[in-house]
Each structure stands twice: as structure tokens, then as C-alpha cells.
Chains A and B, each alone.
Chain A
Amino acid sequence: MSEVLLDVSDLRVGFDVYGGTLKVLNGLNFYLEEGEKVGLVGETGCGKTTTAKTILRILPQPPARIAGGTILFQNKNILGMNSREIRAVHAHGISMIFQDPTASLNPVFTIGDQLMAAIKYSSLEDGLSRREIRGRALQSLRDVALPDPERILNNYPIQLSGGMRQRICIAMALATNSQLMIADEPTTSLDVTIQDQVLRLLGRLVLEKDTSTILITHSLGIVREWTQRVYVMYAGNMMETAPTEVLFRKPLHPYTQGLMKAVPKLTGEGIAKGIGGRIPNYLDPPPGCRFHPRCAHRMPICSQQRPPYFEAGQMHQVACFLYKEHS
């Protein structure tokens, strides 16, 4: 049994907008052990990126507001840290890969400038010489299979393709040797033809460095191939969590089942069916279980109380009143 590296409990985050507050994260609970590769699956708008940015405390507040909860990283609450401790977390603790590599890189500075800055300020040793930093930068570029790293250091983001830019972001995230990496939809913005390539690279590197990873995605296929355990997220809450194979074999939560059915099968059996309805209005979210308006199995209690995790097997938990008797 490994150490728990990250433990998020009852995280509540909202955004102040003109008409009120968008209550996005509604008491989020999940954890990650050292060495684990955990997937976080959910549709667009369910709060995945907000979660990632909150963990790293890079969410601009305002307009965001952290209303409550704890995020324990190596048993220390990130939400209570002062700026020095946060810096330490940023430097060696957690790193992140954003969804859009074009937006992640500052367009008016060279790759070298940005990569070397990341290495310089994340390093454990003080006073690395410029040559050493440059050396590490070049090595990290080679690690992500980028040709001609010398030239790339002098290039600006606009001179590179999307795939190259994302590799550079991966290089930046890994060059800091952090213990936890959060990859937020790392291949969604890329050309379909290179998505697989980049994922493969990421998977290999993460394995090599034994970095604990949270892979955020809306693609079930990616989750199935690259993660050991999965969380299914909807409208700011975790609906279900299980080891990957278990989840795919036996999805229990109505939402998870709907997701599985929505993916067309190559074998051609049946027609893919979407889930009726839309994600809730965060200004005035549904009471109780946030999925209940779209759920075919809803019961009266679903609109009154928010369902807690119920045990449904080895490391398999479902936040649904349907499974209340099981636990």
C-alpha cells in the first residue's frame, strides 16, 4: 500500500459572475497514491480544469472563490499554505500540462527563455549556472523526442507546430522532476494523427520517471488505455470511482453507464445513444444529486440529499442512492 500523495476532500469552488455565483465544485472528493496513474473523466464544463487549477492554486481569485474543503498534498493542506510553501510545491511537488499548448506558451518569448526559467526556478539546488540550466533544457527536449533542440531553444512558439508545442509543455512539466503531474486533456487540441504519438510519449516518460499522474480527459478510450484507476466526474462532483478495468466491465452509476453507451462500438452492435438533457446551470444547480434531472432511475431522495460514496466492491465507490443497500 503506497502513501497517499494527494487527498482532496469536500472541495467547494465557485465563480463570481454578474448574476451571482457559479457553484462549480460542490464538495469534491478524490485521492491519489504515490506512483498511481489516475484518470479523471467527465464532459466539458464539469469542472475538471477548475479542479486542476485549484490544486495548483493558480486559479485567479477573483473571479474564483474557494469556498471550502481541503487539499492535502503529502499531508499538508495546500489551501492553507503560505506563498513560500506554495512555491516549494510548484517547484518540486506538482506540475501541470494544459490543454492548449498554444495558449500555454508565452508568444513573445523564446522557448529557451521559458523552458530555462521553469528549470531554474524549480530546481532543488540553488545557483545553477546558465550552462547547466541550458544543458538540462536541451536534454529535456531530447527526452520528448524533439529534433534539433538547439534550434528550438531559439525559436518562438509561433514557429513551431502544435504537436511540437505540446511536447515542449510536456518537457517543461517533466524537467522539474515533480512528484505529481496533472495532465489536463493533453492531446485534445492536437491533430488526430499525432494524438496517439504524443500520448504514447507521455505514457512512456511518466512510467520511466515513476511520476504520479492525474490524466484529465473526456475520452473514455484514452482512460481505458492509460490509467489504473478512474474517477468519473459530473457537474463538480465525483459520481463513481473504480480501477479502470472494473469500471469498464461493470459501470454502476447511471451517468457512467450513459457515458459508455454514448461511445459507438467498432463492432457495430447497437447505435450510440446520448444522455438526454444538459449540464446544469451552475448559478442555480439542482439540489441533491446534480445528475438527478437527467437520470432515468431517479428517486425522491435524489433531489433532497447529495449522495455520498457507497462501497460497491474492491476500491469501487458509487455516489448514487441506488446502491445504498450494497454497502
Chain B
Amino acid sequence: MMRFLKFIVKRFLHSILVLFGLSILIFVIARVIPGDPARMALGPRAPESVVQKFREDLHLDKPLYAQYYYWLAGALRGDLGMSLFTKRQVADDVKEFFPATFELMLFTGLVMSVFGILLGIVSARHSNRWPDNTVRVFSYLGVCTPAFVFAILFLLLFGYVFQILPTIGRISPAITRPPTRTGLMTLDSLLAGNLAAFWDAIKHLVMPGVALALGPMAQEARITRSSMTDNLQRDFIALERSQAIPERRIMSKYLLRISVIPTVSVLGLDFASQLGWAFLVELIFNWPGISRYGINVMLHKDLNAIVAVIMIIGLMFMVVNIVVDLIVSWLDPRIRLGAERGE
């Protein structure tokens, strides 16, 4: 047990170090670009005095390490600088936009893992028959299609042609918004007892969430299927059958747990790649999240905000990875105990 805890702590520290490194990298890239960042941000028409003041405010005239120090000191205090795009504190922007992305990614994560695994199970149970073949075709297409293509298709089909799902934002303007307690529109609606708002929020989540989830879902289904069909041939399953353990119990308990391990291991990476695609999907659906904010500040070369957004994404990725590692270790005793035995 101790070994396991040490392993987790080590991972955590490693991630923190990596995040530091990332901040330095982004910082350096952001500051060391050709050209004059101040001039680029303010545009060619701004008067020189304004540009000069801007330079001083952002410490752009100081050496690089000094600039980093100022940024770091501020960041640790919670001050991420000013955004040129929104003319507000970046920290405030983050507080406003992050929950939306968090909710979307949570929804995406749930959909892709639950349905991915379910589809994989169905596929394995009906191996080589029509449910399996359908899922396999879907898998191929899903893995190769970028999320934004799905997003556009959904928008077209469900948003405009069939008009059954809303196309913009998190909640319809007509619905009363619930008071913000967690930042998650769905949870807040439930907490406020506002079922209409809850359903509306879910309807808004469906298209962007599913568009993001389909690719990884296909991947998870594939992995789960092959993992299950592999394990079905193993001796321990045969032994369990010979011990008169009911088939249903074998499938739902003994086969399932060992088969989902490879799937869960991949979840972290899959989720990470979707964090990238979220930038486009949020743009397409005008989802007020940190990714859409990120695109906007990137287009406007808003240095402080760009750095903040990258760090947040990096942080999300790190947390997801650690969580996935924890889950896999819990599922698979070989990982957490293997080291102890030294086998």
C-alpha cells in the first residue's frame, strides 16, 4: 500500500514539475516571437505612447526571466494578468468560462466511456453477427472522423433539418437560468428544482458532447471488444464455467472487470485529444467555454490570456491522467501489487 501511495505522490510531483516546464515553454514562446508583441496586440494605428505604456505595464521591456517571475508571482496569487480582448482580469474570465467547458468535458467523458464500453460489450457478445459488424464499421468511421466534422453534420441534421436540438449556447434564452452554485448548468438546475432548465441544458449539451465523444467512443468500443473476445478464450473463464458459475455472472463480473482495463487505460489519452477538439466544437456551437475564449484570445494575440488557457488545459489533462491511473490501479491489482512482490 505504501508503495502505491509513493507512486501516486511521485506522479503528482512529476506533473507539477511538468506544468512548470510548460508554463516556461509557453511563456518563452509567447514572448520570444518575432516582432513586437505590444504593437501586434494593439494594432498598427495605436499611438506610440499607448504602445510604450503597454510595454511597461506588461514588463515587456524587462529581461525574459524577470517577465516570467512577474507572471509566476502573479499566477500563484491568482492574478493572471489583464486580458486585452475582454478588458478584464484573466482570472475573472477563467472563472466565467471554465465551468462551461468543464461541464461539456464531463458530459463527453461520461458518454464516451459508458457508451464506448457498452458498445464494446454488445459487439463482443454478438461476435461476427450484425450488431458486431455494425459497431465495427461505426468504429472505423468514428476513429477517423474529427469531432468538428461530426459537429457540423449534427448541426445540419438535428439543428436545421430536423430542428430537434438547439444550436447555440448552453441554455435557451427563454428559460430562466438557475442560480449559479456549481457552475454546471445541469447540476444547478437540479439543485434549484428547475426541471425545465435541466432538460434544456441537457438538450444543449447533446450535440457538442456527442460530437466530441463519438471518436473516442468508437476507439473504446474497439478496444473493449477485442479485449473481451481475447479474454473469453482464456483458461480462467473456462475454469469458471467448469465450476458451475452461472454464465451471466461470469460475463457481468469476472469477464467484465478484466476486459475494461485496457479501455480505461486509453481513456486518459483519448480524453486529452478531445480537449483539443473542444476548441473547434465550442466555436461551432458558440459554447461559452474556456476553449472558445481561448480561440478568441489567440486570434487577438492576447498573451496573458493565452498563457492562462494553456495552463488550464494542461492542468485538466494532468488531473484526468492521474484519475485514470488511480482507476486502473484500483481495477488491476497486478499494477498496484506487482511491484511489491517483485515478480
Contacting residue for B242 out of A56, A60, A103, A105, CB 8 A:
A56
Contact surface of B with A, Cβ cutoff 8 Å: 232-236, 238-246, 249, 254, 257-258, 261, 331-334, 337-338, 340-341, 343
Q: Indicate if A136 sits at the interface (CB-CB under 8 A).
A: no
What's the nearest-Cβ distance from chain B to residue A93, in Å?
Answer: 9
Contacting residue for A53 out of B234, B238, B245, B338, CB 8 A:
B238
Assuming the contacts A108-B258, A121-B245, asked whether A158 and B341 have C-beta atoms less than 8 A apart, the reply is yes
Contacting residue for B243 out of A103, A109, A121, CB 8 A:
A121
Q: Are B235 and A104 in contact, CB atoms less than 8 angstroms apart?
A: yes
28 A-B pairs within 8 Å (CB atoms) are namely A53-B238, A56-B238, A58-B238, A58-B242, A87-B246, A90-B241, A90-B243, A96-B242, A98-B239, A105-B236, A106-B236, A107-B258, A108-B333, A114-B240, A117-B243, A117-B245, A118-B245, A121-B243, A121-B244, A121-B245, A122-B243, A122-B244, A158-B334, A158-B337, A158-B341, A159-B341, A172-B239, A176-B244
What A residues does B341 contact at CB under 8 A?
A: 158-159
Given contacts A98-B235, A107-B332, A169-B239, 10 further A-B contacts (CB under 8 A): A53-B238, A58-B241, A87-B244, A95-B242, A98-B239, A108-B258, A108-B261, A156-B334, A172-B239, A176-B243
Q: Are B240 and A106 in contact, CB atoms less than 8 angstroms apart?
A: yes
Instruction: With CB as the reference atom, state the residue of chain B lying closest to A91.
Output: B244
Contact surface of A with B, Cβ cutoff 8 Å: 53, 56, 58, 60, 87-88, 90-91, 94-96, 98, 100, 103-109, 114, 117-118, 121-122, 156, 158-159, 169, 172, 176
Contacting residue for B239 out of A104, A107, A159, CB 8 A:
A104
What B residues does A60 contact at CB under 8 A?
A: 232-233, 238
Contacting residue for B257 out of A103, A109, A159, CB 8 A:
A109
Instruction: With CB as the reference atom, state the residue of chain A lying closest to B332.
Output: A108
A87, A91, A103, A106 — which one has the most chain B CB atoms within 10 A of its CB?
Answer: A106
Instruction: With CB as the reference atom, state the residue of chain A lying closest to B261.
Output: A108
Sort A-B residue pairs by CB-CB distance and give the 8 closest, nearest first. Answer: A90-B244, A91-B244, A118-B243, A103-B235, A156-B333, A58-B238, A106-B236, A121-B244
Give the distance in Å from the alpha carbon of A95 to the alpha carbon of B242 in the complex: 7
What's the nearest-Cβ distance from chain B to residue A92, in Å?
Answer: 8
What's the nearest-Cβ distance from chain A to residue B284, in Å?
Answer: 41
Instruction: With CB as the reference atom, state the residue of chain B lying closest to A156.
Output: B333
What A residues does B340 contact at CB under 8 A?
A: 159
Give the distance in Å from the alpha carbon of A105 to the alpha carbon of B233 in the complex: 13
Give the distance in Å from the alpha carbon of A118 to the alpha carbon of B343 in the complex: 27
What A residues does B245 contact at CB under 8 A?
A: 117-118, 121
What B residues does A108 contact at CB under 8 A?
A: 257-258, 261, 331-334
* Total residue contacts A-B, CB cutoff 8 A: 85
Give the distance in Å from the alpha carbon of A43 to the alpha carbon of B13 in the complex: 55
Give the distance in Å from the alpha carbon of A284 to the alpha carbon of B140 in the complex: 37
What B residues does A100 contact at CB under 8 A?
A: 235
Give the distance in Å from the alpha carbon of A290 to the alpha carbon of B168 in the complex: 74
B238, B242, B244, B249 — which one has the most chain A CB atoms within 10 A of its CB?
Answer: B242
What's the nearest-Cβ distance from chain A to residue B143, in Å?
Answer: 26
Give the distance in Å from the alpha carbon of A138 to the alpha carbon of B142 in the complex: 50
Q: Are B233 and A158 in contact, CB atoms less than 8 angstroms apart?
A: no
What B residues does A172 contact at CB under 8 A?
A: 239, 243
B244, B332, B334 — which one has the most chain A CB atoms within 10 A of its CB?
Answer: B244
Instruction: With CB as the reference atom, state the residue of chain B lying closest to A114.
Output: B240
Q: Are B242 and A90 in contact, CB atoms less than 8 angstroms apart?
A: yes
What B residues does A176 contact at CB under 8 A?
A: 243-244
What's the nearest-Cβ distance from chain A to residue B332, in Å?
Answer: 6
Give the distance in Å from the alpha carbon of A292 to the alpha carbon of B24 in the complex: 76
Instruction: With CB as the reference atom, state the residue of chain B lying closest to A107.
Output: B334
Give the distance in Å from the alpha carbon of A53 to the alpha carbon of B343 in the complex: 30
What's the nearest-Cβ distance from chain B to residue A158, in Å?
Answer: 5
Instruction: With CB as the reference atom, state the residue of chain B lying closest to A105.
Output: B236
Give the distance in Å from the alpha carbon of A169 to the alpha carbon of B245 in the complex: 15
Instruction: With CB as the reference atom, state the residue of chain B lying closest to A53.
Output: B238
Q: Are A106 and B244 in contact, CB atoms less than 8 angstroms apart?
A: no
What's the nearest-Cβ distance from chain B to residue A37, in Å?
Answer: 20
Give the distance in Å from the alpha carbon of A103 to the alpha carbon of B238 in the complex: 10
